Amino acid sequence: MIEVKDLSKDFNGKRAVDAISFTVDKGEILGFLGPNGAGKSTTMRMITGYLPPSSGTAVIDGFDILTQPIEARARLGYLSETAPVYPEMSVREFLLFCAEVRGFSGKNRDRAADDAMDRCFLKNVVHQPIHTLSKGYRQRVSFAQSILHDPAYLILDEPTDGLDPNQKHEVRQMIQAMGEAKAILISTHILDEVEALCPRALIISEGRIVADDSPEKLRRQDPDYGACTLTLNNPPPAGLMQELSSLGEVRKEHPDRDTNTAKLHIRPRQYQPDLSSQIEGLCRRSGTGINELFISQGRLDTVFRMLTTPKNAA
């Protein structure tokens, strides 16, 4: 387990991370979200021992990163935002070098590098100098470096940043496969990625945790969660509009003159699981046919904005 305990960091008297605590269990992929400058990278650098905290600590598999850094770091893989790679080395030379630094030698060193290259789909660029690789491949090299020693705990700082959609997909698949056995903390700005990869997400804003829940539960905080958008076969009579208004706030969208249909958006004052059937009943009784009815599942980006927009800037 990764246990983050009351971690804080001040830079020049300004608090960047403010008493953050959370845990990540084995078999869990925890999404770490927040706007630019929220403190994600700073938190990750403290967890991995690259930056001393102002207070608090992180414990990796029972080993404190401050007092037992060798044991703690041996269990951690870290993909940093700006991964340090040696551009003149070939992919294999670089990974062999990293394996040596990690304490591997002889056949074990070769095996560690080969396994990492396999898992990160690098076999076709093994002898290519790193500076000649595309951004996606350089990212895979950084990824390979972080898993060389098959760590049980992975800290991934924006692992798909700058990759094309195909590369993003491949990296996500790699993360998903590794997430079955490891504890993974992954920071990203891509909310679709969180929905696809992370059963749990942590949102930080101005150095503080503002949410810790599943993406599905977070979406429920969207004021539009459970709202219905419906297309009617013909413009709604005034009586029906009045009845629909009793269910919530009704917004009428522009009628489509070509098809003579009308679109309504109905947002309940509070969540009502049977809103759509109530709407269907009222429309049926007024003899107005429904062409289409869509129930909003809420949007993570709306909730993200609600939670991370400073109150005075809203």
Ligand X SMILES: Nc1ncnc2c1ncn2[C@@H]1O[C@H](COP(=O)(O)OP(=O)(O)OP(=O)(O)O)[C@@H](O)[C@H]1O
Q: Name the residue nearer to ligand X (CB basis): 38 or 275.
A: 38
Q: How far apart are CA 208 and CA 39, in angstroms?
A: 8
Q: For the CB of residue 59, give the shortest distance to ligand X in the complex, in Å.
A: 21
Q: Shortest gap between Cβ of 16 and ligand X (angstroms)?
A: 3
Note whether 42 binds ligand X by CB under 6 A: yes
Query: Shortest approach of ligand X to residue 178 CB, angstroms?
Result: 22
Strands 183-187 and 153-157, bridge-based pairing: parallel
**b (16+ CB within 10 A) / e for 55-81:** ebbbbbbebbbeeeeeebbbbbbbbbe
Query: Taking the chain, what is the end-to-end CA distance rounded to the nearest angstrom?
Result: 37
Q: Could you say which of 24, 33, 38, 279 contacts ligand X (CB under 6 A)?
A: 38
Instruction: State yes or no: residue 156 binds ligand X (CB under 6 A).
Output: no
Across the chain, how many H-helices and E-strands are there? 11, 14
Per-residue binding letters, 14-33, with ligand X (x by CB under 6 A)? --x-----------------
Nearer Cβ to ligand X, position 188 or 302?
188
Do 108 and 139 form a contact (C-beta atoms < 8 A)? no
**Cβ distance to ligand X smaller for residue 52 or 281:** 52
Answer yes or no whether residue 48 interacts with ligand X by CB under 6 A.
no
Q: Strands of 208-213's sheet, edge to edge?
A: 76-79, 153-157, 183-187, 29-33, 200-205, 208-213
**In the set 8, 24, 34, 98, which binds ligand X (CB under 6 A)?**
34
Size of the residue set binding ligand X (CB under 6 A): 10
Which spans of this chain sit near ligand X (rule: CB under 6 A)?
Answer: 11, 16, 34, 36-42
